[in-house]
Amino acid sequence: MWFRPGVLIARRNVASRARRVNIAYPLYVVRDDTQFFAGYRPAGTTFKLASGRRGGPRDHIVLEWDGGYEDHTYPESFLELHRPGDAHSVYEFRRPSGEPDRWYVNLEAPWRRTPIGFDSRDLLLDIVIDADLSGWRWKDEDELASAVAAGTISAEHSNEIREEGLRAIGRLERRESPFGDGWERWQPDTTFAQPISLPTGWQELEPRQEITAESSSTGIGNANDSGRATT
């Protein structure tokens, strides 16, 4: 099952042991095939964040879920890029002008396709990359260290997460996909600017209702058939 360009899907961070969706946000599909996924989220998009008692560095971790969700708004637009099987995805954040502001590697469990989009599990450690790809730095190392200290992530798994990050940096330094694909030149169709919302069933751990044609847009921006960005 592939999602056609222009369809709105749900990207979710799922805590399978805790039996909840932690974060969910809608995303326009730009490309979806056996080799690559690209999605676009316009600025001002509302996302759902599990509510309850929080803790850990900067209170990012839900310690006790109260069964509800808070609405938050993303101030920036971004492209989300993923190669099937990778334990990370790459974000390209945009300025209001449409130019790149920064790139970001989100370390996470490999994606799982659902009838309404893709699920994953955040692995806490991230990487921030300069807009021109000239430099990078680790982000949220303290969150990963806190999880290891609490026993929710093993020291061995922590090392594996960091190794995955270094593999992504290796692709960056060699300008391999997605960093050498020209996605920074991709621009969305104007229909992508309209307010978007999550599809039905976003809060269900095993959603059953499939995405329909009615939840799609006609514009996919200036990507060619291969999904590589064009000028």
The span from the CA of 200 to the CA of 126, in Å, is 30
Query: Is residue 139 among the annotated active site residues?
Result: yes
CA dihedral 72, 26, 61, 50 (to 10 degrees): 70
Angle at 35 between CA 46 and CA 222, to 5 degrees: 60
Q: Say which of 139, 162, 167, 185 is annotated catalytic.
A: 139
Q: Are 17 and 34 in contact (CB under 8 A)?
A: no
Q: Which long-range contacts (CB under 8 A, 24 or more apart) does 4-7 make?
A: 4/29, 4/32, 4/216, 5/29, 5/30, 5/31, 5/32, 5/220, 5/223, 6/191, 6/216, 6/217, 6/218, 6/219, 6/220, 7/211, 7/213, 7/215, 7/216, 7/217
Active site positions, annotated: 139
